[in-house]
Amino acid sequence: MTVKNSNKIAMITGATAGIGKATALKFAAANFNLIITGRRAELLDDLSKKIIKDYGVKVYCMQLDVRIKEDVEIQINKFSEDWKKIDVLVNNAGLAVGLGTIQQGEIDDWERMIDTNIKGLLYVSRAVMPIMIANGYGHIVNIGSIAGREVYPNGNVYCGTKAAVDSITRGMRIDLVKHGIKVSLIEPGAVETEFSIVRFKGDKERADNVYKGFSPLFAQDIADAVYYVCSLPAHVNINDMLIVPTAQASATIIEKKL
């Protein structure tokens, strides 16, 4: 598939739901061609069809589990020269699994979070950064969390993965500054997506309770922020942006009217 030169390209990991999907739609509306990734191929296909129909941009669907290092490398290295002209990479794929003490923790849950949120982000970045360096331009936006700034009870490992995303983002910025490539971190507070359903392993009632009694952020709010950060003049970079619902004063203090 040939990409029109006039369109910029944004690659978004975890675009099948929530923040990633909203970000894909936001960039498509701004006339970006898109590389969208996620494990659920059918959802990628549905999103791709909607974007092509509504916005007329090109979409490259990449069914990808970011935890599988070899697959990340193979799939990104086979981009055509046109698709290698990546302007924006949004490292969004991520999840929390479980909420509990370390002493009673499910080690499989920890591994899913560490492998996705930290190692997956690194694998994708490792494959895309040389492409951006060769191009001489690019912008990487990592999706961290308020949980990377503040550890809350039972959040331990998830909070640790997001603190790691913060540190890795700072490291990337140091590595890439000489190449003129921007690196930003967006740290959302409570956003109502599939996040809590995944965290509570399909327990929808428990997930819904997280967002009861206040107005959480919508995925679209974060997508708008990602797009804003990416639409600033070449000489301006936003390093870090913490975005919370008005009712959220900290990771643990949410004013609920129940």
Annotated catalytic sites, by residue?
158, 162
Query: Which member of 95, 146, 168, 229 binds ligand 8X3 (CB under 6 A)?
Result: 146
Binding status of residue 251 toward ligand 8X3 by CB under 6 A = yes
Query: Which member of 59, 188, 200, 207 binds ligand NDP (CB under 6 A)?
Result: 188
Q: Could you tell me which of 121, 12, 124 has the C-alpha nearest to residue 57?
A: 12
Q: 158 with 213: CB under 8 angstroms?
A: no
Structure tokens at 138: 């690019």
Provide, rounded to whole angstroms, the least separation between the CB of residue 168 and ligand NDP.
Answer: 13
CA-derived radius of gyration, the chain: 18
Structure tokens at 96: 């929390």
Strands (DSSP E) found in the chain? 9-12, 33-38, 59-63, 88-91, 139-143, 182-188, 240-243
**Which residues are paired to 142 by β-bridges?**
91, 185
Q: 52 with 59: CB under 8 angstroms?
A: yes
16 binds, among ligand 8X3, ligand NDP, none (CB under 5 to 8 A by kind): ligand NDP
- DSSP of 75-89, one letter per residue? HHHT--TTTT---EE
Binding status of residue 125 toward ligand NDP by CB under 6 A = no
Q: 42 with 17: CB under 8 angstroms?
A: no
Binding status of residue 25 toward ligand NDP by CB under 6 A = no
Binding to ligand 8X3 by CB under 6 A, coded x per residue (else -) over 148-167, reads -------x------------
Provide, rounded to whole angstroms, the least separation between the CB of residue 178 and ligand NDP.
Answer: 28
88 binds, among ligand 8X3, ligand NDP, none (CB under 5 to 8 A by kind): none
251 binds, among ligand 8X3, ligand NDP, none (CB under 5 to 8 A by kind): ligand 8X3
> Would you give the end-to-end CA distance of the chain in angstroms?
52
Query: Which member of 147, 168, 186, 229 binds ligand 8X3 (CB under 6 A)?
Result: 147
The CA distance from 229 to 70, in Å, is 31
Query: Cβ closer to ligand NDP: 67 or 179?
Result: 67
Segment lying near ligand 8X3 (by CB under 6 A), choices 29-37, 43-51, 82-90, 145-153 = 145-153
Q: Which residues would be at the binding site for ligand 8X3 (CB under 6 A)?
A: 145-147, 155, 190, 251
